[in-house]
Chain A
């Protein structure tokens, strides 16, 4: 049976495009989320939309579940097999198909790497705005699946705000095109597909917006002796009417991590928090914004505040921030990153609670935030070799998300739900709301073959409740 599957996949994609030996599948047992690995049945690496379509059609006929996968940098386990799925890896579909600077758009294949798009248009003065920290490696197809964000989303929006059209292979293998013109009439299917975590279809071609580089940008680094001061500064800057391109925060443990990692900046010792703030736009007026930011920082007892003096310095500060998650590997064998969202103004109080959870659990938590848009990334540090600590880290992660949800926020800002936060969906949605989402999924994915078990919790005991009419 299995052999026929492999043979068919090989017929479609070529023998060098199919992996099926047990030891070859081990490398695909997890993505950037490593805590719940699973075994795929096979991995297939198609090179064209047609191959994707034929593969999906075959799997659909045989009722074999499958998972689309990009670079596998996701942090919520969206590309992790639960057991027995066929992984459709799209990394060999990595072409830039079309560039239309006049209309400021680019058409890429799903395996095209995020940062390469900016590199491809940089010499002409353009860039692709969504900049997840994994942009050196993550694919735009994966970005679409997770509706990825990034440091500069505060001003420029997340992936969904930059998608103009896509080609999608549906669960039965049919190929459809959606979008293509700005603001197409009818339901916003692009919006629905973006962030659907591979549960509604496989994106095989994406049309994205390209932006003109801002005329100028200025970057500020502010060091604080109290986390509270840094937190209040964040709200104060927005309150002052400034919309920074990015407004990032790291706490003491996070700073320890990045300074031990491969891209240290040489931050002073004994800091409790730092803010990395960037403003961009037309040159005129930027200096005034910087002056205003400096003033706000000083009012909040900043220890030191400085403006990047060169592009190299700016790049160094950003490399330091953007490698913050993995740099934790330098101070801890394992980490679990959470992705809560809270109203900006509640930052000090939520941080207090996170610290309390850390103290009670005995696990260190490093905090890295896209502070400007209230997107917290608590990094829970642990050692999976100690019995029980992985489970503890997962519990702590869940507790942190509960705090965020209770503060009027949400359980994910940009990393997606995957398997990791599936049960926590109940913190923010009622069973009826979840059921409504399941029904949407079932329109596209009636047999649950596309990335099964992800995003939405199984209707558990609450199934009974679901049927009772209420809210008359």
Chain B
């Protein structure tokens, strides 16, 4: 066997990234392959495979750029299997932006290897056909409401018709919350502050959030106005595009980004408040997405500087400590795109602790991904459910609620609760705050902590 050292030739063959907007050289060359990320990666922990680890994926991304590897299945699989949870970014000593690199690589794969099969159907239908169009989303929302209210759901469940769905979709159906009317339809474009106006903000309502979790948007609105914010809900806003960017459909992502930037800059608000971690992260990353767009680059910076998660906004802006008491044991799950994506860990906990009666029980590995990861649980159900299994093992016993700040996590965790025959209620942090305000005004109504709110996820509606 030869033992002559073979060095990496400098700048050898040409890059195999043939399309615009390839992974940034500066971003992948910051990776020194130390491996400190390995143990933070849910898919590496599940498989033990180097290419399903952050550094392995970055190594492949680099290898394609160096012409050592082509964009084929051996590239697509590991890049696809990434949850984009960004736990590796927290672990990385040199600050490699793995999430962005993965998204950029998916942009190339999206064009080099068009999806086929069921994944393609899901992606094309939702990402291009539904999410970008509020009207279509609302139509689906109406159908869901009809399904839930008309007794059809009971019928379908009794008749065992759910079995026609794949298992992971059955699980999702079971935990779908009571669908409400979207905030964008129910409220005017400007909602005045209660009392003296202290700030003008806009609410980013999201796509699925407003249809499936309208109640959370409503709670957010109420909390904001109560704390002196005049809230704009710009009609021109669209889906944030995170799911498109995750799936590699960067062009559609950019279109949505431009629409949102225009809609929110026109609203002339001080802050754009978001209650979904995934959306917040995506909105803050518009400058990266549009870095090659001369017309929007600066606007994207201006917009991104205004975006803030609702919990951090409340902590910075100040909020009224609720008078109501909510005697409940709660544990907190750090949504990846809050903790790893935006560095927001303390604020939601402080808000929870500020509610009288709430006992916050810390969850070990609270910032470990639950497997939801956008629509990962629909496109990669097997891995998503393995990751969820791991996550559920960390939920402490004897808590009544699991609070978090991301709708995708809420559905996934609720499915976990259901699957394990557990009884925790899954809630958004802001819902608890909202409920505590309500109880402060109507203290006698305290029949069950979450009575009176619409979302009762994890329990049949």
Contact = CB atoms under 8 A, between A and B. Distances in A.
Contacts of B72: 23
B94 A330 contact: yes
A419 to B, nearest CB: 7
A34 B66 CA distance: 14
Contacts of A220: none
A137 B33 CA distance: 12
A83 interface: yes
A94 to B, nearest CB: 8
Interface string A384-408: 1111111100100000000000000
Given A73-B34, A328-B32, A137 B93 contact: no
Given A23-B72, A89-B48, A261-B94, A389 B10 contact: yes
A92 interface: yes
B1 interface: yes
Contacts of A27: 49-51, 53, 56, 59-60, 78
A149 interface: no
A121 to B, nearest CB: 15
Nearest to A327: B93
A122 interface: no
Interface in A290-316: none
B444 interface: no
B3 interface: yes
A329 B8 contact: no
A335 interface: yes
Contacts of B33: 30-32, 34
A36 B9 CA distance: 10
Interface in B67-97: 68-70, 72-75, 78, 90-96
A390 B10 contact: yes
A36 B32 contact: no
Contacts of B30: 329-330, 333
Number of chain B interface residues as a range? 35 or more
Interface centre among B11, B33, B60, B68 (most CB of A within 10 A): B33
A323 interface: yes
B1 A262 contact: no
B39 interface: yes
A158 interface: no
Contacts of B37: 137
B2 interface: yes
Contact of B39 (A30, A113, A326): A113
B93 A263 contact: yes
Contacts of B32: 34, 325-326, 328-329, 334-335
B120 interface: no
A329 B50 CA distance: 20
Contacts of B63: 26
A292 B7 CA distance: 49
B8 A138 contact: no
A82 B6 CA distance: 9
Nearest to A74: B35
Interface string B350-369: 00000000000000000000
Nearest to B33: A34
A301 to B, nearest CB: 31
B36 interface: yes
Interface in B91-113: 91-96
A385 B95 contact: no
A137 B51 CA distance: 16
B383 interface: no
Nearest to B31: A329
B6 A452 contact: no
A140 to B, nearest CB: 13
A103 B206 CA distance: 58
B5 interface: yes
Given A23-B72, A387-B11, A326 B49 contact: no
B36 A453 contact: no
A136 B70 CA distance: 32
B10 A72 contact: no
B39 A137 contact: yes
Contact of A32 (B34, B68, B95): B34
Given A24-B74, A334-B32, A136 B1 contact: no
A329 B96 contact: yes
A263 B91 CA distance: 10
Contacts of B59: 26-27
B31 A32 contact: no
B38 interface: yes
B10 A453 contact: no
B154 interface: no
A180 interface: no
A458 B4 CA distance: 10
Interface centre among A26, A30, A386, A390 (most CB of B within 10 A): A26
A35 interface: yes
B64 to A, nearest CB: 10
B50 A28 contact: yes
Interface string A426-469: 00000000000000000000001000110000100000000000
B22 to A, nearest CB: 16
Nearest to B75: A23
A137 B35 contact: yes
A188 B459 CA distance: 62
A84 interface: yes
Interface in B1-47: 1-3, 5-8, 10-11, 29-39
Interface string A67-85: 0000111000000001110
B3 A458 contact: yes
B316 to A, nearest CB: 22
A67 B8 CA distance: 21
B5 A328 contact: no
A19 interface: yes
Nearest to B38: A137
Contacts of A261: 93-95
A348 interface: no
Given A22-B74, A24-B74, A134 B50 contact: no
Interface of A: 19, 21-24, 26-28, 30-32, 34-38, 43, 45, 65, 71-73, 82-84, 89, 91-92, 94, 111, 113, 116, 134, 136-138, 261-263, 323-330, 333-335, 384-391, 394, 419, 422, 448, 452-453, 458
Interface of B: 1-3, 5-8, 10-11, 29-39, 48-51, 53, 56, 59-60, 63, 68-70, 72-75, 78, 90-96
25 contacts: A22-B74, A23-B73, A24-B51, A27-B49, A27-B56, A32-B35, A36-B7, A89-B50, A92-B48, A136-B39, A137-B35, A137-B37, A137-B39, A138-B35, A324-B93, A325-B93, A326-B34, A326-B93, A328-B94, A329-B34, A334-B29, A385-B29, A386-B10, A390-B10, A458-B3
Closest 5 CB pairs of A and B: A23-B74, A329-B94, A323-B93, A326-B93, A326-B34
